Chain A
Amino acid sequence: MQSTAPRSRLRTILRVGAPLLLVAVLAGCLLPPEPRTEAGRSVFNLYLLLLGLAAVVFVGVEGFILYAIFRYRRKPGDDVLPEQHHGNNLIEVIWTAIPSVIVLVLFVFSMLSLAEVEARVEGDEGVSIQVEGFQWSWRFIYEDEGVAITGTAAEPPEMVVPVGEPVVLTLTALDVNHAFYVPDFLIKRDLIDFGEHREDNELRFTVTEAGTYAGQCAEFCGTAHADMTFTVRALERAEYDAHLAAIAEGEEPPEPVTGECAETIEISADNLSFDIDEFEVPAETEFCIEFENRENLPHNVSIYTAAGEDLFIGEFLNQAGNITYLVPALPAGEHTFVCDAHPNMVGDVIVTSD
């Protein structure tokens, strides 16, 4: 017989609570990744609603169970029967009606979110890419540009898309079922060869932030299903065009920007001048420039070789504000940084090799 002495109750609480707490902590707060697509934001918000409801229900029901275990524990030797409640029709109606309302409201929000996720942008569809899935990699076909990027399990392919523009993928399964899944986009869609029965699936999204995102096949497709990965790189439109053009001409496309700042240089512009006149960075390493424009005049930071070739063109800030530039790896040597609107705003960039 277990006693209800305070020590054993404490032990019980610890035994129950500690693992749950540990698990919750390890669980990482039960959130999906920050969405990088417009539709993904809608999914994320729907999930927040679901999580909120879940928390309320969980705390309420679980709390009652724990309360009941402690409050209604039979005392040793107590042989008197508790009151034999058989039920209560009114309560049944209430606790059927209230959850019905809640889940129906939930359903409405779910359908609203679905409409956003499935929405088609009228007119120019932005970019159209044909995705072929096969055992065990992918091919991305850009028909207009005449480019096909084919991967292997050992060397997964990379899909490039322009940031901020609608992308529509046509998903073609060449053999068994596959699924195109990018967790950061909070969406996936199956690749199924429906034969005569149906057209291939389409998947639409608009990426909101430049970056490189991991993707993986999410429909078990045989032996090396685990290897069927890919990446999606979202670039500014100009870079995207350049990238595809490079592939089309058989050139090496520019090195991928991983989005990580090995180093950060701070530059600010005020009174038509930069606050530093030189900085030093290692060669062949991406780095970041945190640029602050302190006046309401257009300024940017661009980097040119001594011969005048551009290595990096930074976006303009037309008014006071901040921006972080991701500068790709630079070759060793002495270069210059300059504001493209004001040529006498200039300085040295010393790129050292190790």
Chain B
Amino acid sequence: MATTTLEPRAGTYRQSWVLDWLTTVDHKKIGILYILNSFLFFFAAGILALLIRAELAVPGLQFTDYDTYNQAFTMHGTIMIFLFIVPVLAGFGNYIVPLQLGAPDMAFPRINALSFWLLPLGGGLIFSGYLFGGAAAEGWTMYTPLSNAPYARNVGTDLWIIGLTLVGTASILGAVNFIATIFKMRAPGMTLFRMPIFVWTILVTATLILLATPVLTAGLIALFIDRNYGGSFFDPSVGGNPILWQHIFWFFGHPEVYIVILPAMGVVSEVLPVFSRKPLFGYKAFVFATIAIGLLSFSVWAHHMFTTGAVFLPFFAFMTTLIAIPTGVKMFNWLGTLWRGKLMLTTPMLFALGFLSMFLIGGISGVMLGQPPFDFHVQDTYFVVAHLHYVFFGGSVFGVFAATYYWFPKMTGRRLNEPLGKIHFWIHFIGFNLAFFPMHQLGLDGMPRRIADYDPNAGWTLLNFVSTIGAFMIAVSIIPFLINVVATFINGERVGDDPWEANTLEWATSSPPPPHNFDRLPPIHSERPLFFLTHGHGHPAERPEDLVEEELVDEKPGDIEERPEDLV
């Protein structure tokens, strides 16, 4: 009898890759979408930064008028915070957290997709102000009464409010997803205290997002009502309270800055141990410090309002000073990780070390700002601009680049070129310090922020000029980075599952992972399950208590009973 071989008809099951990526609910693809989208916004907001620095290099208005400049710094801040740094870290979280937990996907894959797609929509709305007479121009902090009718009747600000509400909603849904995933979808054997630190930081971050962002949403709605429906929330002429906006905004705003920094700290806590070839020093202390920072972050908001004359200074100064303690504990634990390690200065490690150095400076200036008498002098000056860039940029963005170089091989199966990476790092590092360190002195000298131009006789010109050079250096440093990414993607050095000899579960599967993430999981007895696998059970240096007596059952994700309605 003749046999017939069945073959699928060509094209029967294939989907165009465009449609695939547009409709995907796979956390890995969604993670990559988050990262790509975020970097696009990074470049847009970066160009705005270059415009700002070009304008400030020397006195006089050379490139902008006042209104254009005010839109530029408003949009720069808004886009960088809401459409770059938070989403890019969420993107890495999206890709990596299920892998690190040994899970097949996030808890709610379709909500995951929704969370992503709200971002280009919200960001587009925010930017669309430029098409309708001008983008929002009242500062990313949108203080009332300036942002209220009748002072800011621009549609751009309304679009900003609506766009940001969508972005906030996306964040909140993402937070629900992360927390549910972390609590419900860990592989067997992974107790909470065996989770990677990156997962812990995402957990605390998601909790902050869950509890703080809705307060911003309430404020945004209230502002929209005031602006468009004659509301009396913030307008003093009709019984409102302008400083209520500041309280609402900063009650969200301060947890927001920890939302920005904690995942980056998580990345650093992954990278340092791998490239020191030792475990993170003080894992539990780290977890408790992270939780403490999360809790305390809700109690310090009014340190942004010391000069308003309307807040109880001692309480907020005290809580602000307190939050320095767990932050310091983390710094010491990172140093303890380096101590007596065998450091490998790869590009991700350089960025992680850069994070330590730069975040240290940002943290120090933060403690200074937390003392009201000193804050009276430097609030709303370039000292604050210096501080925020040292923590946001020197901290979080360095963490993002560390994550990029570290996890690029896992996501693409190819390792980024090391020499190009080092060039990127050094130009970036030097440019960053040139751009932002002088701002400390400018602030001490009294240069206020958010001014398009300044007095030529004030003595601020030289430092502004140096700062502009640094800013353009940062822009230049992106060139080797982009070349690296494109060239590596096309024809870079291929790697296997675990090119870095790392510790956590994402390295226990192929690079990139299959759609279901894992074919088999290693047994999980510690926070470094892969280390165990690589270096053998009963490694003399591992703690005996990590070796829990339990059946070494080869659990596969498919074994866990899942009900259809759980896959929302």
- Partner-B contacts on A (CB < 8 A): 2, 15, 19-20, 22-24, 26-28, 30-33, 40, 42-43, 46-47, 50, 54, 57-58, 61-62, 64-65, 68-69, 72-75, 78, 81-88, 91-92, 95-96, 99-100, 103-104, 106-107, 110-111, 113-114, 116-117, 175-177, 179, 181, 183-184, 186-190, 192-198, 201-202, 214, 216-226, 229
Contact = CB atoms under 8 A, between A and B. Distances in A.
A30 B442 CA distance: 9
A194 B242 contact: yes
A198 B333 CA distance: 46
B159 interface: no
B433 A193 contact: no
Interface stretch (B5-13, B22-30, B165-173, B374-382): B374-382
B145 interface: yes
Given A61-B335, A87-B282, A26 B446 contact: no
B57 interface: no
Name the prevailing secondary structure of the B interface residues: helix
Given A72-B276, A85-B336, A193-B242, A226 B453 contact: yes
Q: Which 6 A-B pairs have the closest CB atoms?
A: A183-B446, A195-B236, A84-B541, A226-B451, A74-B342, A87-B282
Contacts of A110: 317, 321, 371-374
Given A58-B364, A82-B342, A189-B307, A32 B444 contact: yes
B543 A86 contact: yes
B343 A46 contact: no
Contact of B535 (A78, A81, A100, A187): A81
A311 B247 CA distance: 56
Contacts of B445: 28, 32-33, 183
B341 interface: yes
B243 interface: yes
Given A61-B335, A220-B380, A225-B450, 15 more contacts: A23-B433, A46-B373, A47-B374, A54-B364, A61-B356, A74-B343, A81-B277, A82-B340, A92-B329, A95-B328, A116-B373, A117-B376, A181-B380, A188-B377, A226-B454
26 contacts: A20-B433, A23-B437, A28-B463, A32-B446, A68-B341, A74-B344, A84-B542, A87-B282, A87-B336, A92-B329, A92-B333, A95-B328, A103-B324, A111-B314, A114-B372, A116-B373, A177-B143, A177-B242, A187-B377, A193-B145, A194-B310, A201-B309, A216-B446, A219-B380, A220-B139, A220-B146
B343 A225 contact: no
Contacts of A83: 278, 340, 541
A114 B336 CA distance: 37
Nearest to A195: B236
Contacts of A84: 278-279, 539, 541-542
Contacts of B296: none
B335 A186 contact: no
Contacts of B70: 220, 222-223, 225
Contacts of A19: 430, 433-434
Nearest to B69: A226
A27 B382 CA distance: 13
Nearest to A57: B364
B379 A186 contact: no
Nearest to B470: A23
Contact of B380 (A15, A68, A179, A201): A179
A40 B377 CA distance: 9
Contacts of B345: 2, 69, 73
Interface size class of B (residues with CB under 8 A): 35 or more
Contacts of B130: none
Contact of A175 (B145, B307, B357, B452): B145
Nearest to B363: A57
Given A19-B430, A46-B373, A176-B145, A86 B281 contact: yes
B367 A27 contact: no
Given A33-B445, A65-B356, A87-B282, A106 B239 contact: no
B373 A65 contact: no
B335 A68 contact: yes
Contacts of B377: 32, 40, 43, 47, 183, 186-188
Nearest to A178: B146
Among B307, B367, B543: residue with most chain A CB under 10 A: B307
Contacts of B220: none
Interface string B424-465: 001000100110011011001110111111110010001100
B520 interface: no
Contacts of A69: 343, 345, 353
A106 B278 contact: no
Contacts of A27: 437-438, 440-441, 463
A75 to B, nearest CB: 8
A87 B281 contact: yes
B138 interface: yes
A28 B325 CA distance: 30
B528 to A, nearest CB: 9
B434 A192 contact: no
Interface in B323-341: 324-325, 328-329, 331-333, 335-336, 338-341
Contact of A62 (B67, B332, B360, B462): B360
B351 to A, nearest CB: 13
Contacts of B240: 195
B419 to A, nearest CB: 10
Given A73-B343, A175-B151, A193 B236 contact: yes
A92 B285 contact: yes
B353 A26 contact: no
Nearest to B430: A19
A225 to B, nearest CB: 6
A86 B325 contact: no
B51 interface: no
B322 interface: yes
Contacts of A82: 276-278, 340-342
B360 A190 contact: no
A24 B278 CA distance: 35
B385 interface: no
Interface string B143-180: 10110000100000000000000000000000000000
A231 B112 CA distance: 56
B319 to A, nearest CB: 10
Contact of B283 (A46, A64, A86, A104): A86
